[in-house]
Amino acid sequence: MNLDIIMRQILDRMEQRNSTREEVLRYSRQLVQYSSRVIRAAHREEEADAQALLHQARELAGTMRQTASHFPELYYAGYTQDALKEFSEASIVTALIRGDHLPYPSDLGVEDAAYLNGLAEAASEMRRHTLDCIRRGEISQAERSLESMDEIYGFLVTVDFPDAITGGLRRNTDLVRGVTERTRGDLTLAVRQEELQKALEKFEKRTQAGQP
């Protein structure tokens, strides 16, 4: 009876799969951490650090994809695709803040669903950038940031496929809508305050000059 040989082959394959799974898990955690650091550096306008971290994240993503490539069930596992989504978000946020063209999914080596969800989360993340611009008095830059959020939302609502295809994109798109509307309200208030401040300054100058 050849049961011993069959069992040995099965156990060897399972051992290899389990070992690869542990590697992919480790890479996915590291990629999420690097992506978070990229976004933080981009918001702080630490451009050199953001680009260096993004380069490291890109290499790590490539290593993770290569490691998981022999086992589709590992490549398409939730933790792998979530990490690639975070990498997509970091890459897109960096491009938006720099005013660069957005990277294509093929540039990042990610699946469409991971890219789209990363795009949605990047749009929500741009709220922070918009508010930072408002606090610095950079209203024109804040308006451009809001325009990017609007454009992304306008695109995402056209993606009408089941969640099984998009990875739950509909929920993230709804979140983008809420974040964008709150940001629009904040920016509208800031613009009105700026206009009022300019009107007061103009009135004070005219008063000091004795003009009616």
Identify the CATH number of the domain in which residue 92 sits. Answer: 1.20.58.2140
User: Do both 69 and 161 map to the same domain?
Assistant: no
φ and ψ of 33, to 5 deg: -65, -45
What single letter denotes the amino acid at residue 59? E
User: Do both 148 and 97 map to the same domain?
Assistant: no
pLDDT at site 6: 87
Last residue of a domain, one of 110, 134, 149: 110
Helix then strand count (H, E) for the chain reads: 9, 0
User: Do both 18 and 100 map to the same domain?
Assistant: yes
Mean pLDDT value across the chain: 91
User: Do both 168 and 101 map to the same domain?
Assistant: no
- The pTM (predicted TM-score) of the whole model is 0.89
User: Do both 209 and 146 map to the same domain?
Assistant: yes
The answer to whether the beta carbons of residues 172 and 121 sit under 8 Å apart is yes
| Mean pLDDT, residues 56-77 | 94
3-state secondary structure of 70: coil
Task: Write out pLDDT tens, residues 163-183.
Answer: 999 999 999 999 999 999 999
Return the structure tokens found at 140. Answer: 């024109």
Using the predicted structure, report yes or no on whether residue 84 has a pLDDT greater than 60: yes
User: Do both 102 and 134 map to the same domain?
Assistant: no
What single letter denotes the amino acid at residue 62? G
C-alpha 47: how far from chain center: 16
Using the predicted structure, report yes or no on whether residue 80 has a pLDDT greater than 80: yes
User: Do both 51 and 151 map to the same domain?
Assistant: no
User: Do both 47 and 122 map to the same domain?
Assistant: no
Last residue of a domain, one of 49, 76, 110: 110
User: Do both 2 and 100 map to the same domain?
Assistant: yes
User: Do both 129 and 40 map to the same domain?
Assistant: no
Domain count, the chain: 2
Task: Write out pLDDT tens, residues 149-162.
Answer: 999 999 999 999 99
Q: How far apart are the first and last CA of the chain?
A: 109
Task: Write out pLDDT tens, residues 94-149.
Answer: 999 999 999 999 999 999 999 999 999 999 999 999 999 999 989 889 999 999 99
Using the predicted structure, report yes or no on whether residue 200 has a pLDDT greater than 80: no
pLDDT at site 90: 97
Task: State which residues form the domain around 17.
Answer: 1-110
pLDDT at site 208: 63
Task: Write out pLDDT tens, residues 4-35.
Answer: 888 889 999 999 999 999 999 999 999 999 99
Q: Which residue, 210, 188, 207, is CA-closest to 199?
A: 207
What single letter denotes the amino acid at residue 112? D
The residue with greater pLDDT, 189 or 80, is 80
User: Do both 3 and 20 map to the same domain?
Assistant: yes
Whole-number Å distance between alpha carbons of 57 and 37: 10
pLDDT at site 123: 96
Last residue of a domain, one of 110, 125, 150: 110
